Amino acid sequence: MKLAAPNEMKRLDEIAIKDYGIPGILLMENAALHIARKACEMVSYDKSKKIIAIAGKGNNGGDAFAAARHLHQWGYPVSVISLTGRGSITGDAEVFLEIIEKIGVKISYTDHGHFLREELVKQNDLALIVDGIFGTGVHGEITGIFADAVRAVNESGAKILSVDIPTGVNGETGQICGVAVEACETVTFSLPKPGLWQYPGRAYAGNITVVDIGIPSGALLSAGLSGELLEISNVADILPERAVDSHKGTFGKVLIITGSIGMTGAGTLAAKAAFKTGSGLVYLAVPKSLSAIYGMTLPEAITVPQPEIDGFISAESLEGLLSLSKTMDAVVIGPGLSAGEQVAPWVSHFVEKCCKPMIIDADALNVLSPDIFRSIKAPAVITPHPGEFSRLTGRTVSEIQKNRVDYARTFSSEFGITVVLKGAGTVIAYPDRRYNINASGHPSLAVAGSGDVLSGIMGSLLGQGLNHEEAAALAVFVHGRCGEVLAGERDLSGFTAGEICCAIPSVMSELKHYAKSSKFMPDDL
């Protein structure tokens, strides 16, 4: 599903209204109908439950007015509190305000936070608040009556339904504008907003429902949207084919360059993940003195001992590794290599001269200069966590986390390399400034070795014939889905990276079955 940043959503509305002749008031009516239906669901269709819609300025306030009209007509005890004066409400919002005035919905106007707080406290049996204060266009800190309103809503004890996005969440970055509504449910219009899928905003949105409000599909195409949410429907169709008459060479040869004293687990996990994802042959290039460890821990892999200095792969290995890589379908470099002075020089030369698709991860990222990416010969994906990306960009982790999508897209565009910025809501950015945000995942993935598993999955998919963009997207989704499968309905945690590997086959099977079943489903379902 495409993503729409606030400015892109504004453009979509303009195209629908100006180019297709769809009245803005009709879009607002459609949005309100979805909000009202969700409100009914949240109060279990109990028409004795009290509902208050809180309206701010602009279209979000209009949506709240229109939703209140539906709820009133359906027999629910709904009232409205407007945080702006009657004379300040104009346009489509005023049309719906006039309607609810005429049909007898109780409406209060206030510009004082204490009034709103008292009104909510008075309603000691209040079941639901509809948050129509601010939408996706909010910028800067929320202050005054609006900040007071957000705090009062959060402290009310009622369930909260947010219109389009929780008030106070930046629709582009997911950052909090001083304060934000903590919604139980968010109904967002037409397309998901990036800020709903980046933290901390994702944590404020509760359950997210994306609804169609009538913007034509042609408008989506002409708007040139660059973002996409990674869901099962996006990735299932790019699974590599596995013919019945295949053999181990059919499913790709993956070289993992790894290993240093005390870090043998990283390469083992990456190799295990590659096998679990379907690789037929996995080669481990490791320091000579450690090769026996890999042979015992993962006998399925082919161990290729390398010249070393004190347990670290040395520069003498460079030509041999380059020669070996030419016989491979994909290369993973970095897990457990260390960032020692013995490693840095030859890693740079290898990355620059390697002619096969690469995943560059972990310690390889810690010893490389970003400028090396301008001269590499092969398609490549880098997989930094925020700390590694901080070193590459010269930005602090805090800066990066405040706008993950923009920093990843900028770096990818500047250096011509696919960037997988790991973390909750992993961002995948491509050199043409397209990007994905991953919708799968669970906190159980936050464990040592989890990133090595991701690299192994990605390298395996590269080796099986996917291009580097497809491999990055599918691997990130599969990795996240493994966390969900492990956690299950009981929301368990405490898993090891090895257990993440064990979940890979069932997730791949799930995707395979989804891809088969979706071929028989009508496009509009």
CA 415 to chain CA mean position, Å? 22
185 pLDDT more than 70: yes
Taking only the tens place, the pLDDT of each residue in 339-355 is 888 898 899 999 999 99
pLDDT for residue 525: 39
In this structure, what are the phi and psi dihedrals at residue 313, rounded to the nearest 5 degrees? -60, 130
Taking only the tens place, the pLDDT of each residue in 456-473 is 999 999 999 999 999 999
Euclidean distance between CA atoms 179 and 177, whole angstroms: 6
pLDDT for residue 204: 98
DSSP-derived 3-state class of residue 440:
coil
Token pair recorded at residue 427: 């961002």
113 pLDDT more than 80: no
Least confidently predicted of 46-55, 107-116, 281-290: 107-116
CA-wise closest residue to 473 among 514, 439, 424, 507: 439
Q: What's 214's DSSP letter? A: S
Token pair recorded at residue 27: 């879009």
Using a pLDDT cut of 90, give the percent of the chain over it: 89
Q: What's 16's DSSP letter? A: I
521 pLDDT more than 60: no
Superfamily of domain 235-518: Ribokinase (3.40.1190.20)
Cβ atoms of 421 and 438 within 8 Å: the answer is no
Token pair recorded at residue 386: 């925020």
Stretch (H or E) spanning 129: strand 126-132
Average of per-residue pLDDT across 267-287: 97
CA 347 to chain CA mean position, Å? 31
CA-wise closest residue to 462 among 384, 358, 343: 358
Preceding omega of 305 cis (within 30 degrees of 0): no
CATH of 2-225 given 3.30.9.10, 3.30.70.890, 3.20.20.30, 3.40.50.10260 = 3.40.50.10260
The residues, ordered by sequence, that sit 6+ positions from 138 with a Cβ below 8 Å of its Cβ are 167, 168, 169, 170, 171, 177
Least confidently predicted of 41-50, 218-227, 254-263, 395-404: 218-227
User: Hey, do 2-225 and 235-518 end up sharing a CATH topology, with the first three levels equal?
Assistant: no
Taking only the tens place, the pLDDT of each residue in 18-76 is 999 999 999 999 999 999 999 999 999 999 999 999 999 889 999 999 999 999 999 99
Question: pTM, whole model, 2 decimals?
Answer: 0.94
Nearest 5 degrees, angle CA 450-CA 376-CA 379? 55
Give the model's confidence band at 246: pLDDT under 50 very low, under 70 low, under 90 confident, else very high: confident
Euclidean distance between CA atoms 441 and 455, whole angstroms: 16
Using a pLDDT cut of 70, give the percent of the chain over it: 98
The residues, ordered by sequence, that sit 6+ positions from 521 with a Cβ below 8 Å of its Cβ are none
Euclidean distance between CA atoms 166 and 201, whole angstroms: 8
Please count the other Cβ atoms lying within 10 Å of the Cβ belonging to residue 247: 8
Euclidean distance between CA atoms 292 and 295, whole angstroms: 5
With b meaning 16 or more CB within 10 Å and e meaning fewer, what string describes 213-243?
Answer: bebeeebbeebebbbbbbebebbbebbbeee
**Structural domain boundaries in the chain:** 2-225, 235-518
The sign of the dihedral angle between the CA atoms of 284, 285, 287, 289 is positive
pLDDT for residue 58: 86
Q: What is the mean pLDDT of the chain?
A: 94
Write the burial class of residue 309 (CB in 10 Å: 0-12 exposed, 13-18 middle, 19+ buried). Answer: middle
Taking only the tens place, the pLDDT of each residue in 139-169 is 889 999 999 999 999 999 999 999 999 999 9
pLDDT for residue 213: 97
524 pLDDT more than 60: no
Q: What's 18's DSSP letter? A: I
CA 336 to chain CA mean position, Å? 27
